[in-house]
Structure 1
Amino acid sequence: MFDRRVWKSMQQGMRLILGSCKNIISNQEFLTWLQKERFDLAFAHVYQVCPIGLVQVGRIPTWIWLNRIVANPETELFREFIDPSFPNLADMAKECPLVGPSTDLKKKTASTLNSERSW
């Protein structure tokens, strides 16, 4: 994970993610179209959170976050290389006791505790 080549690849991926979001949100023609269409429903993928911002810009009242788009193929990798009965990763993620956005803790601490946990 911390191999220099892997780190560089992750940095390149992050630049691509940010660049694609910048290209979309700087396209005023697209944003105007998005607002005028008055969509009832949006599907947002988990590769990045830019689509969540677009849901807000488009004033789309209902949206579905497609978190299994990545989880299902990755689950299959664990089943192939680790154990054929490995549990679904998205189902395992639901059991996480602490969920919060990655943020600068000096500026802001934002987290949500699993409601079933008593601390």
Structure 2
Amino acid sequence: TGAAGPGTTGYAGLSVRPMAETPPRYHVSLDVADVPGVLATVAQEFAAQGVSIATVRQDGHGDAATLVIVTHRAPDAALATTVARLREMDAVRGVTSVLRVEGLS
């Protein structure tokens, strides 16, 4: 047998916030052409939609590269527009993943 735990927590009185009010960070992976200016063009599209980039990693392989971009917190709609526009770019061969990054930072 064990001891009884506390009857409530400090979070019990808090309401659940809608997802739209808690913008996450995002992890976005892209396959792109490995030519000068592609990273700048991709970064400009994030900026145009008001999505700030926290980190970028680029791994080249032949005439292609993989970009992995982690954003600061951003509204879902802004990220969705960014991804849609990235898919239209000639230099972007594919958006391979878009993941929400939950957490405090």
TM-score normalised per structure 1: 0.21
Structure scoring higher RCO (CA < 8 A, sep ≥ 6) equals: 2
Task: Specify which structure has the higher proportion of helix.
Answer: 1
Q: TM-score, normalised by structure 2?
A: 0.23
